[in-house]
Structure 1
């Protein structure tokens, strides 16, 4: 009789463990799959989400010049996952940190285009960009440092990538400085924002790039 009670008690405990454990295991598994394969949000701006996920992104057209002296337009983004940011070569603080993190993106991804737009085109000439590119082992087929008309550069930052909430016209006294990395998918839609100075956020960026690649 005691053996029978002991068996029933053990069976009841085992059943209780299964009853609790299976849903927990299923939840953890689903969360892990979502983290690895789940879809990223689609941003219409830095603070709002797009309502229609079937519509392609609408970025302002641009014509800039890269570190090689070549003309670069929006067409460079066609069918590519893109990581974009703004910087300037004489920046003493956050830009070196961001560039080192972009080195990680360049080394840790395949077929991803990096576009770094200067906020100081007056000083950041093609020659200066080339020296900067050599300093950070920039591969021109993967990573372009871009300069050009200041008003156009600032317009793209504010109305294309939405990296700042400040208003301005790109005039002489206007200045933008942001630590944001912006992730765009192959349809030129914004899919994420990341602090480019923090390794853990760049870890998330690299993970999100893999998610986008799984969407293709």
Structure 2
């Protein structure tokens, strides 16, 4: 499927909004549930809301976990949005301990339980920064504009070099974006981030890592 963006449908993500946003910036998007469609696509997008464990269980049951790994190892551009970023890591502490794709060392951890008593709501929801650690062909399209977050857990990479963008929520500084080689993951929702998000998605559609 030359030129196709495989939008992975595992029954949990906000697919319609992501699909519409990618199409708006020129992406040729196909919703996929079959691992072979992932393997033959030019680039892969995995959006996500919901529970980490449920996501991984569904991906494994359909063979999509291996298809994602193979696509990434083959050098195809990958964009993980919110949960699609979190599953790149080794494990999550969301309602127990659950194994991810293990493509990056690190954990997915919760915001501190006492945040509400300190006037900080969980989930972290609304507009906030993504301060880039360094220029990046996809993420630099955000400029200095804020982006939209909705999450109760965040990625804590073991290697700081993977962190492409930071965000501060109260006393916690977390990875708003990670990037290496042909992989980009963002904790925020570009499809909800108006001009900044569309600019980033357009950069991803055009990206040739």
Q: TM-score, normalised by structure 2?
A: 0.29
Larger Rg: 1
The structure whose residues are more often helix, as a share, is 1
The structure whose residues are more often strand, as a share, is 2
Structure ranking higher on relative contact order (CA contacts 8 Å, 6+ apart): 1
